[in-house]
Amino acid sequence: MPRWLRSGLAAILFLVWLAPAQVSAYSYGDANTEDVAETFKLIESSLGGASADWSAAAAALQTRRSEIKSHFGEAVAVTLDKNAEAKDAKLLIANFKAVLVMNLDRRFTYAKKDLGDYAGAKLLLAKAKATYDVLAPYLSSGTDEINQAFDDALEALGNPGLFGVGKKEADPDVFKKKVDFVYAKVKPSFPYKAYVKPVVKEEAKPSPSKEPSVASPEVKPDKKPAAATNEAAATATPSASPSVSPSPSPSPSESAEAQPSPSASASAEPSQEASEPEASESLAPSEDAGAATAEAATEDQPSQEASAGHAPMERSNKTNGKVTVFVIGGVVIVGGGILWFIRKKGWI
């Protein structure tokens, strides 16, 4: 056997020995499970039987609550809490399915950003696939198209190759198109109903404006005192100067008319006071309505926050330094042993 052939076979044997560790990184793998999806399975199994086990469902929800709050916001966590407190199994399961759709969108979003990192993008796509697999039984149609879209998205990630051999560049446009197709197909089937705190209406306060308004007819007595004053002035004028002819001097009636009438001013004050309570009371309901509107707007924020951008994905480095050193050392020792054996046999 020629020397170059023996050297080539030895190199191929060495690469085949290393291949399983590389190939395992390019498949979904059984370890690619989604914690939120697994929690949904526990809740559904606890509430789906003949007798609902709310204690088990509440414990499973509480275990995953911090993660739900971190990724999707406090409003979504509160909605699930209120559904559990009300023991509304149907609404809780429906809203949790919507949370899985939110998680699907979160995984797709960060996979699009990490296309330069093949391993990271591949892991995120696998997490998205695990989430979809839980929702798939509840879809009436289109599952075959969605599965094909996942396969196309995986192909669009490219492949770094094995030591540069078989390298394939990623196609971001195709990847984005396929994951957006999956999300658009899945989302309409699982609507989200956010919890809204009931608005407590305040009782209307009794208006005291009706009592002062009765004082308005008191304007009538103004004419009688004025007429009495005119008669008294008319009788007093002839007795004071009977021989003097009437003069064009201003009569007492005119002077009486020029003087302000006390009854008129008195009647004007109650009417003015009556108008002030009416104005204040008319403003009170409008302020209450404005407060109720503001409170209702505040309570609508959970549904808006739920559809807003998700919290960044928490990343953790799971690389074990000791294991890495051990594997590299093992590779060097085994490779050196193979080369030593080949040299000893005289194949090289």
> In this predicted structure, what is the pLDDT of residue 320?
63
Pick the more confident residue, 162 or 290: 162
The answer to whether the Cα torsion of 17, 115, 311, 86 is positive or negative is negative
> Can you tell me the distance from the alpha carbon of 51 to that of 181, in angstroms, rounded to the nearest whole number?
39
| pLDDT-based confidence at residue 189 (cuts at 50, 70, 90) | very high
| pLDDT-based confidence at residue 326 (cuts at 50, 70, 90) | confident
Question: Which among 71, 185, 72, 92 has a CA at the least distance from the CA of 136?
Answer: 185
**Mean pLDDT comparison of 16-25, 62-71, 228-237, 259-268, highest-scoring range:** 62-71
Q: Please, which residues bridge with residue 165 across strands?
A: 162
> Can you tell me the distance from the alpha carbon of 280 to that of 211, in angstroms, rounded to the nearest whole number?
15
> Can you tell me the distance from the alpha carbon of 303 to that of 307, in angstroms, rounded to the nearest whole number?
7
The helix or strand, by DSSP H or E, that contains position 96, with its residue range, turns out to be helix 89-113
What is the rounded radius of gyration, in angstroms, for the C-alpha atoms of the chain?
44
Q: What is the pTM of this model?
A: 0.55
Residue 76 φ/ψ region, left for φ over 0, alpha for ψ in the -120 to 50 degree band, beta for the rest = alpha
> Can you tell me the distance from the alpha carbon of 24 to that of 153, in angstroms, rounded to the nearest whole number?
18
* 274-293 tens-digit pLDDT: 344 443 444 344 444 444 44
Q: Which of 20-24, 126-130, 138-142, 325-329 shows the lowest per-residue confidence on average (mean pLDDT)?
A: 20-24
> In this predicted structure, what is the pLDDT of residue 55?
94
10 Å CB burial of residue 282 (0-12, 13-18, 19+) is exposed
DSSP three-state, residue 251 = coil
| Mean pLDDT estimate for the chain | 72
Helices 89-113 & 118-135 angle (0-180, nearest 10):
160
* 213-266 tens-digit pLDDT: 554 555 554 444 444 444 444 444 444 333 334 444 444 444 434 344 444 333
Angle at 274 between CA 271 and CA 279, to 5 degrees: 125
DSSP three-state, residue 165 = strand
> Can you tell me the distance from the alpha carbon of 252 to that of 250, in angstroms, rounded to the nearest whole number?
7
Q: Please name the residues in contact with 139: beta carbons below 8 A apart, sequence gap of 6 or more.
A: 146, 185, 186, 189
